[in-house]
Amino acid sequence: MQGNVLELPGPFGIAVEVRNNFAFLALIIFVLALFQGAGPLTVIGLIGVLLVSIFLHELGHAWAAHVQGVKVTRIILTGAGGQTKIANTSASKKEFITLMGPLVSLGLWAVLGLMMRGVYQLALADPAWVPLGMVLVPWLGFASLINLFLFAFNMVPVQPLDGGRLLLLGLRHWMPAPKAARVAGGIGIVFCVLWFPAMVWVFYQSGLLMLFLPSFALHLAMARGERRR
């Protein structure tokens, strides 16, 4: 561990960094869950599911880069989410790399949801499955929900989320890069304004919390043509 970073070996020879602000997020979740009556081991499990889900999302980006021959320097996990650092490459390769993270999260949501339904149906059909079903169904449901949240969260069209990157890359197919940046910046401003009330609503509805706020200043600069991101 170096300073505020825990560095671990990862797949494809990629270093994985866990920043200390993830521990801060974990502490907030731990305290809030305890106040809601969850046991300590349950809360640790919830945090573990969140960490693994974010890592697999980022691993989707890393895999897409790896198979296209794009160098991946590291995967970073923070309280605001995750980030996969890659070498500069072409726009077409960036599109595939960016898209794979949300697709992994969406795929995990579907697979885990089907597993939950399968275990539930087995428990209904055979009483012998009931004890195992009572353990697995809630956890599979939670893991499925987390990955659906990660998909939706990352597809919001603001920088530097995947949705914002895909919007900018997609607009560049239809218009010059400076105009694409201005349009993406204008769309991003709208979502920046809506971000905080939306996060409060999500927290009260589901208890899900992420320490991330998009930069209004960045999107304003893009809309003015001062930044191309």
Reported as a single tens digit per residue, the pLDDT across 8-28 is 788 888 889 888 777 777 777
Could you tell me where the beta strands, DSSP code E, fall in the chain?
A: 5-9, 15-19, 72-78, 81-86
Does 5 fall in a domain? Answer: no
**Total domains in the fold of the chain:** 1
The predicted structure's pLDDT at residue 208: 67
Burial 167-183 (b: 16+ CB within 10 A, else e): bbbebbeeeeeeebbbb
Mean pLDDT, all residues of the chain: 88
Query: What is the rounded distance in angstroms from the CA atom of residue 201 to the CA atom of residue 25?
Result: 18
Does 16 fall in a domain? Answer: no
Residue 202 binned pLDDT confidence (cut-offs 50, 70, 90) = confident
Does 20 fall in a domain? Answer: no
Query: What is the rounded distance in angstroms from the CA atom of residue 202 to the CA atom of residue 69?
Result: 38
Higher pLDDT, 220 or 208: 220
Query: What is the rounded distance in angstroms from the CA atom of residue 115 to the CA atom of residue 140?
Result: 7
Q: Is residue 211 over pLDDT 90?
A: no
Does 207 fall in a domain? Answer: yes
Task: Specify the pTM.
Answer: 0.88
pLDDT tens profile 27-86:
777 777 777 777 778 778 888 898 899 999 999 999 999 999 999 999 998 877 889 999
The predicted structure's pLDDT at residue 9: 80
Does 143 fall in a domain? Answer: no
Residue 6, amino acid: L
Does 210 fall in a domain? Answer: yes
pLDDT tens profile 128-183:
888 888 999 999 999 999 999 999 999 999 999 999 999 999 999 999 999 999 99
31 DSSP assignment = H
Domain that holds residue 219: 156-229
Does 217 fall in a domain? Answer: yes
Residue of 115, 151, 153, 139 whose CA lies nearest to 49: 139
The predicted structure's pLDDT at residue 4: 60
Does 213 fall in a domain? Answer: yes
Q: Is residue 1 over pLDDT 50?
A: no
